Structure 1
């Protein structure tokens, strides 16, 4: 038996060379993928909503407007609370333990009206003690977001809700407090700065 014949026989005993990697993608798979792609594009085109992404729940700008009585011009503090404060301080005013402080029974809320106004206007950062519990978060400033009437309305709502009986805040107080700290650009530094204002 020649060497050539022995090599051929040896090759025949071995496993054949793999060929799966060189096979083309089956047409059925290509057709299915193409059909899914066309369906996805058609679906997105058919369900396109011409609204900003921020309106994901289909609300419009009008839904965020603060209600005012056409006769009295009084701002609805409850609606303002729902749109600006509820996410952190919750519908009950109890906040989230360890994360967002409660407004119910808080001496920061029921104390001096001027102090509550300053907190809403400039916000808070750093360590703050509320009802014996420490919070170290960040409350945003609302001085550029809410006007004097709106600050007075939301504070009046908070100070007379959730079991609080501190009384309402008038627009004149807000206006005076805003003017007194008009140059302030930073939030209040929690207990360190606010304790002296109690």
Structure 2
């Protein structure tokens, strides 16, 4: 839990550095909200779980890169908990990577099953290509395959100079695939 909050605090600093108006933002820590209202959280969780088939949950587990026959109980519960967060935290907009689409759709499917007319709005973003050949997405485990907010100008320049960029437009290049999704600020 401590690691999650450390990453969350880091992201808050990234948003501040990006110019986000913090006077209009309220950050919630799910763990604190669940501790304050456990009956509400687990009641919502159980309602989602009883209206969702195991086969439907397993479809969401593929986002974690797990083979269906090797799933632990925790890995099966996790998508249900992600879905519960949407409703428990009263999120109007679910902003996650496209790799999380199945969990977002689980939340919308739950609305149908529960007779909820107002469904969460899903805002998905694609994964940024890795800077090295054959990488489907940037990876924090390989610092030279990604550009980080705290990278120096020199690091960004070096990484872009060494980025994979085929001469013909073959797709899958970090240099040509993300220009509409990126903002470079000097």
What TM bracket, shorter-length normalisation? under 0.3
* Higher RCO structure (Cα 8 Å, ≥6 apart): 1
TM-score by length of 2: 0.22
- Greater C-alpha radius of gyration: 1
TM-score by length of 1: 0.21
